[in-house]
Amino acid sequence: MTYSRRIRPSMHIVHTIADLRAALAGRGRPAFVPTMGNLHAGHLSLVAQARPLGDVSVASIFVNRLQFAPHEDFDSYPRTWQADCDALQAAGCDLLFAPRESDLYPQPQTFTVQPDPQLDGMLEGHFRPGFFAGVCTVVMKLFSAVFFASGGGTAVFGKKDYQQLMVIRHMVQQFALPIAIVAGETARAGDGLALSSRNGYLDAAARSRAVQLSQALRALADAALQPGADLAALEAHALQTLSAQGWEADYLTVRERSDLSPPVGAPQAGQLVALGAARLDGTRLIDNLEF
């Protein structure tokens, strides 16, 4: 009897920008998925989406201190190195870039990439000042590392971080970076909760209530499309509902998908997104729903 068995080639792991550039030389155009690790099925769906979009699939794992405010969870952010490597290897990722802080930031990063003030001044940018500058700065650096050898390629970002995706698209457009930005749909748990590394902070009781955020967004979106809907009143009602359920909400709002501005006139189906950020038992979760 003969057996045929497909063995996936081993994923190559590099830690420095120089090693990454050397590993990518002559390999064609990368399809890249940046992450902060603690990988879940949402991240792996982005890797699966990325693989056919390039000649070589690249993921990065780096918990970027620059995008965390001093009171935020940089120190406690879950770091699950071996499980992440195993998951990426099983997902068919070709190359993992996992820089140490001293590899990516050998000197204090005094030159930063500042996002457009209007987009940065609302929603996540408003509630997490400095967050998008930290994200843009590290993503610019990761792009420089990953796309140097090929002169361009594709990067995949999740819609779960809706405003982040928009900020990155804007950065790529304004700096004329030769990189196609592709959006990945939000992977959800069976009850509808958006998968997120920070879900791991929730105890069993909080986890069972966490779906209330996506339910609030669904109810807000449905109500917004009723004739004569008063968006301000509906948003206030959604905030009250979540608050009565024990959440502390930063925002629950309906925006235009094109630029995240508040809709003017009657809400138009197919062009809107309901976005929310709220804390449950001290854990800050975000979610959104296009409608």
Ligand X SMILES: Nc1ncnc2c1ncn2[C@@H]1O[C@H](COP(=O)(O)OP(=O)(O)OP(=O)(O)O)[C@@H](O)[C@H]1O
What are the phi and psi torsion angles at 114 (to 5°)? -100, 125
Long-range contacts of 189-196 (CB under 8 A, 24+ apart): 194/42, 194/160, 194/285, 194/286, 194/287, 195/40, 195/41, 195/42, 195/160, 196/40, 196/42, 196/160, 196/285, 196/286
Q: In the annotation, is 71 catalytic?
A: no
User: Burial level of 16, CB count in 10 A (0-12/13-18/19+)?
Assistant: middle
Q: 139 contacts which partner out of ligand PAF, ligand BAL, ligand X, none, CB within 5 to 8 A by kind?
A: ligand PAF
* Minimum distance, C-beta of residue 68 to ligand BAL, in the bound complex (Å): 7
Of 254, 260, 257, the closest CA to residue 223 belongs to 254
Among 158, 251, 260, 276, binds ligand X (CB under 6 A): 158
Footprint (CB under 6 A) of ligand X, residues 36-95? 36, 42-43, 45-46
Total residues at the site for ligand BAL (CB under 6 A)?
3
Residues 6+ apart with CB under 8 A from 25: 149
Pairing mode, strands 248-256 and 272-280: antiparallel
Of 61 and 216, the one with the shorter C-beta distance to ligand X is: 61
Between 159 and 255, whose beta carbon lies closer to ligand PAF? 159
Compute the distance between CA of residue 140 and CA of residue 222 in angstroms, rounded to an integer: 38
- 278 CB-contact burial (10 Å; exposed 0-12 / middle 13-18 / buried 19+): buried
**In terms of CB distance, is 94 or 287 closer to ligand X?**
287
Give the position of tokens 């939000």.
186
Nearer to ligand BAL, 57 or 64 (CB): 64
Within residues 65-104, the interface with ligand PAF by CB under 6 A covers: 67
Residue choice 12, 15, 51, 198 for contact with ligand X (CB under 6 A): 198
Q: Give the pairing of strands 283-290 and 272-280.
A: antiparallel
Write each residue from 122 to 151 as x if it is in contact with ligand PAF (CB under 6 A), else as -, in one continuous string: -------------x--xx------------
Given 15, 43, 170, 237, which residue is catalytic?
A: 43
Binding mask 159-188 for ligand BAL (x = CB under 6 A): --x--x------------------------
Are 250 and 277 in contact by the 8 Å Cβ rule? The answer is yes
CA-angle at 135, arms to 200 and 276, nearest 5°: 55
What the block records as the tokens of 285 is 């979760």
d(CA 120, CA 167): 8
Choosing from 14, 20, 32, 34, the residue that interacts with ligand PAF (CB under 6 A) is 34
Q: Which of 194, 216, 234, 273 binds ligand X (CB under 6 A)?
A: 194
Among 35, 154, 186, 212, contact with ligand PAF (rule: CB under 6 A): 35
Partner from ligand BAL, ligand PAF, ligand X, none binding residue 138, C-beta < 5-8 Å depending on class: ligand PAF
**Percent of the chain as helix, strand, coil, to the nearest 5:** 40, 20, 40
Among 184, 260, 267, 277, binds ligand X (CB under 6 A): 184
Residues with a catalytic annotation lie at: 43
Question: For binding to ligand PAF (CB under 6 A), which residues are involved?
Answer: 34-36, 64, 67, 135, 138-139, 161, 164
Residues of the shown chain interacting with ligand BAL in the complex, contacts defined by CB under 6 A: 67, 161, 164
Q: Which residues bind ligand X (CB under 6 A)?
A: 35-36, 42-43, 45-46, 157-158, 160-161, 184, 186-187, 194-198
